Amino acid sequence: MSFRKDFVWGAATAAYQIEGAFDEDGKGRSIWDEFTHSEGKIYDNSTGDIACDHYHRYKEDVKLMAELGIKAYRFSISWSRILPEGTGAVNQKGIDFYNDLINELLKYGIEPYVTLYHWDLPYALHLKGGWLNDDISDCFELYTTIVAESFGDRVKNFITFNEPQIFIGFGYSEGNHAPGHSLSDKELLRISHNVHKAHGKAVRVLRENVRDVKIGFTIATTPSVPLSDKDIETAENSYFSCGKGNFVFSESFWLDPIVFGKYPDELMNAYGDIFPEKSAEDMKLISAPIDFIGLNIYTGKLVKTDENGSAEIVPCPAGHPRTAIGWDIVPSSLFWGTKFHYDRYGLPIYITENGMSAHDCISLDGKVHDPNRIDYLNRYLLELKKSAENGADIRGYFQWSLLDNFEWAKGYSERFGMIFVDYPTQKRIVKDSGYWYKTVIENNGENL
């Protein structure tokens, strides 16, 4: 045993972070266009107007992927590129762009994995209330129908949402991501239920329109890692708890309704009185079967059992290794995150994101040396392999990210790519870790 023979080795990106061409060829504005264009929101005052200029350079980027032996590419579609107003008229040039990209990928035998929503809500819909508007799930259904009809003959893998926790938690609660709001719990619950319904409607549309489709839902997760063997149960319970104060960021709030057709009792006990109206029909829609769970794992938190038998988070010791963005390096988060999710939900798992930021630069020899990233990836992938050997059904791994790109509120200050992007010239340089990843793919991880 080890990684499956057909293990999917991939790379991931998202539309707003790489495409640029923010107002070209009929694209409408998204909440991220508006957010980055308002003063003081982004660390380095940058925007995604040009980003990696992938809209114009996708052929070069796909070719680089092929050279690295990448088997699958996870990217997102910009809703406002194909529906500038969110609903209504379709922008044919937007459809053309994704058709060209998909065809280019298939030419090299790279399998497309499409994320429908990676945070860039059409601004026109935001003005009508966005995710708070109860009509939004119908708009999402329409958007998904167009995607399914346009690309479903060639794209078979879809992820409805990327990290609802983060776009809702950061965008509508903490306010440091677009659209920069700080809403009440009652409003956050309404938004979340609308996202759940939008997911359900998208699943229905994809099943009806795309032959042999595989559908997943991706969450952001910082797994609880047991400090010792005595703490396994405590870590697992705390990982899936969904109590007061943390429901948006929790796991079970997102996945229980989708997999079990039921919001967690803990949530309903705490918030039942302010929860929006939900019908049995809603719950049936939300829990339409999906094919896999996508986990985005970057770090973990160590958990031990305190004197009362409850979970206590143990901070990493001083000097513990961290990535440039400040996240602790906890390789075993890949083992425990996949194990706990497989134990609870029993669905196939893809790691839809994992990777690290570093302050990479071009050396005198013209290359980009990133030994720390190679070490990070090596350690994390060994833990993933261990989890697969331990029985979790792990189907694939997408490294975040193919390219250095626009890191949301951090602008261009963090580099997550296996390919370096020199923004002033848009020159691409494969980092040492990119070449290293190539050998991992060639050996199906046996050389780790």
Structure tokens at 141: 């259904």
383 is catalytic: no
Minimum Å gap between C-beta 139 and ligand GBH is: 22
Cβ proximity to ligand GBH, 266 vs 407, nearer residue: 407
Structure tokens at 6: 């057909």
Minimum Å gap between C-beta 357 and ligand GBH is: 7
Q: Identify the CA nearest to 431 among candidates 352, 383, 366, 380.
A: 366
Q: Identify the CA nearest to 393 among candidates 12, 71, 70, 8.
A: 8
Cβ proximity to ligand GBH, 141 vs 328, nearer residue: 328
Please report where in the chains the tokens 């963005």 appear, as a residue. 325
**Is residue 323 close enough to count as binding ligand GBH by CB under 6 A?**
no
Task: Report which DSSP code applies to 130.
Answer: G
Residue nearest to ligand GBH (CB): 327
Catalytic residue among 19, 104, 111, 163: 163
Residue type present at position 63 = K
Question: Segment near ligand GBH (CB under 6 A), from 27-35, 88-96, 226-234, 292-300?
Answer: 292-300
Cβ proximity to ligand GBH, 150 vs 405, nearer residue: 405
Cβ proximity to ligand GBH, 412 vs 437, nearer residue: 412
353 is catalytic: yes
Please report where in the chains the tokens 């997408």 appear, as a residue. 398
CB atoms within 10 A of CB 240: 20
Binding mask 227-256 for ligand GBH (x = CB under 6 A): ------------------------------
Gyration radius from the chain CA atoms? 21
Question: Segment near ligand GBH (CB under 6 A), from 194-202, 294-302, 336-344, 378-386?
Answer: 294-302
Question: Element (H or E) spanning 338, and its range?
Answer: helix 332-345
Task: Report which DSSP code applies to 172.
Answer: I
Q: State residue 3 phi and psi, 5-degree precision.
A: -75, 145
Cβ proximity to ligand GBH, 222 vs 238, nearer residue: 222
Question: Segment near ligand GBH (CB under 6 A), from 36-44, 159-167, 202-210, 380-388?
Answer: 159-167
What is the total count of residues that contact ligand GBH (CB under 6 A)? 15
> Which residues, 205 to 224, sit near ligand GBH by CB under 6 A?
220, 222
The answer to whether 31 touches 121, Cβ cutoff 8 Å, is: yes
Catalytic residue among 236, 353, 407, 414: 353
Distance CA 101, CA 82 (A): 14
Instruction: Please give the C-alpha separations between residue 348 and each of 157, 294, 342, in angstroms, as whole numbers.
Output: 13, 9, 7
**Is residue 421 close enough to count as binding ligand GBH by CB under 6 A?**
no
Binding mask 165-184 for ligand GBH (x = CB under 6 A): -x------------------
Question: Element (H or E) spanning 103, and its range?
Answer: helix 92-107
Instruction: Please give the C-alpha separations between residue 323 and each of 89, 191, 326, 375, in angstroms, as whole numbers.
Output: 44, 32, 5, 12
Minimum Å gap between C-beta 202 and ligand GBH is: 18
Minimum Å gap between C-beta 414 and ligand GBH is: 7
> Which residues, 348 to 387, sit near ligand GBH by CB under 6 A?
353
- Quote the Cα angle for 125-129-135, to 5°: 75
Minimum Å gap between C-beta 114 and ligand GBH is: 15
Task: Report which DSSP code applies to 274.
Answer: G
> What contacts 126, CB < 8 A, 6 or more positions away?
31, 34, 179
> What contacts 39, CB < 8 A, 6 or more positions away?
none
Question: Segment near ligand GBH (CB under 6 A), from 140-148, 191-199, 233-241, 293-301?
Answer: 293-301
Minimum Å gap between C-beta 118 and ligand GBH is: 6
Among 137, 145, 173, 299, binds ligand GBH (CB under 6 A): 299
Which segments of 234-310 are extended strands (E)? 292-297, 301-305
Q: Are strands 349-353 and 311-314 parallel, antiparallel or unpaired?
A: unpaired
Minimum Å gap between C-beta 159 and ligand GBH is: 11
**Is residue 163 close enough to count as binding ligand GBH by CB under 6 A?**
yes
Residue type present at position 263 = Y
**Is residue 327 close enough to count as binding ligand GBH by CB under 6 A?**
yes
Minimum Å gap between C-beta 246 and ligand GBH is: 13
Among 53, 104, 282, 407, binds ligand GBH (CB under 6 A): 407
Distance CA 145, CA 157 (A): 15
> Which residues, 8 to 67, sit near ligand GBH by CB under 6 A?
14
Which residues on adjacent β-strands are paired with residue 76? 115
Cβ proximity to ligand GBH, 4 vs 320, nearer residue: 320
Minimum Å gap between C-beta 173 and ligand GBH is: 13
Catalytic machinery residues: 163, 353
User: By the criterion CB under 6 A, which residues form the site for ligand GBH?
Assistant: 14, 162-163, 166, 220, 222, 296, 298-299, 327-328, 353, 400, 407, 416
